[in-house]
């Protein structure tokens, strides 16, 4: 069985896009939130005895980079060079993010690691095809100005290096 007209059209667009991407030069600079997405899958076939909430029996757990880190990895996977700017904490979640991005060859020089700051983690609990709950572990960023300043300094350093290479 062959492809439909819509499938041919989609295929042609993707081939054209792939060709355009291969001909692009330079880096894509991405500034944004960096987080770890955690997924806990299982089944829920009974309710908690103290409250009418489902009890999830875990069958699988995995983690992946999220937010801007997810976008940066996607850009690398389609052949673009991405430089990611953002902040993570000096904790296990931050380390997992860096390890994953470095495996995918994402440029992590723009990521500031802040001591005593927790990395944002978004956890989703899923039973079958239903989301039961989503929770977020967020840093209390009382040092938001410092975080922005660090990010801006890293961007400035990158731009200065780029101008020096060109000029």
- Helix count (H) and strand count (E) of the chain? 4, 7
Inside any domain, residue 136? yes
Is 150 or 128 the better-scoring residue by pLDDT? 128
Classify residue 9: in a domain, yes or no.
no
Residue 5 lies in a domain: no
% of the chain at pLDDT higher than 70 = 88
Q: Which domain holds residue 72?
A: 22-166
Q: Is residue 10 part of a domain?
A: no
Does residue 46 carry a pLDDT above 80?
yes
Q: What pLDDT digit, counting tens, does each position of 75-111 carry?
A: 998 888 888 988 899 999 999 999 999 999 999 988 9
| pLDDT at residue 163 is higher than 60 | no
**Residue 111 falls inside a structural domain:** yes
Q: Do the domain assignments include residue 8?
A: no
The whole-number pLDDT of residue 152 equals 75
CATH of the domain at 72: 3.40.1190.20
Report the number of distinct structural domains present in the chain.
1
Phi, psi of 147, deg, nearest 5 = -60, -45
pLDDT digits (tens, 9 = 90+) for 53-71: 899 999 999 999 999 999 9
Q: Where are the alpha helices (DSSP H) in the chain?
A: 5-22, 68-77, 92-103, 144-166
Could you tell me if residue 1 is inside a domain?
no
Q: Judge whether 7 lies within some domain.
A: no
Residue 26 pLDDT greater than 50, yes or no: yes
The pTM assigned to this predicted structure is 0.76
């Amino acid at each position: 069985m062959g492809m439909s007209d819509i499938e041919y059209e989609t295929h042609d667009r993707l081939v054209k896009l792939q060709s355009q991407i291969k001909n692009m030069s330079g880096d894509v600079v991405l500034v944004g939130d960096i987080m770890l997405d955690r997924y806990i899958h299982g089944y829920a076939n009974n309710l908690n005895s103290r409250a009418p909430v489902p009890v999830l029996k875990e069958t699988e757990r995995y983690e992946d980079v999220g937010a801007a880190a997810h976008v940066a990895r996607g850009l690398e996977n389609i052949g673009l060079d991405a430089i990611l700017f953002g902040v993570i904490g000096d904790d296990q979640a931050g380390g997992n993010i860096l390890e994953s991005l470095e495996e995918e060859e994402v440029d992590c020089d723009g990521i500031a690691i802040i001591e005593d700051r927790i990395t944002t983690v978004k956890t989703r609990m899923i039973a079958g095809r239903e989301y039961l709950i989503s929770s977020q572990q967020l840093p209390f960023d009382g040092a938001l100005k410092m975080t922005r300043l660090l990010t801006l300094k890293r961007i400035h350093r990158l731009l200065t290096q780029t101008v020096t290479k060109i000029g």
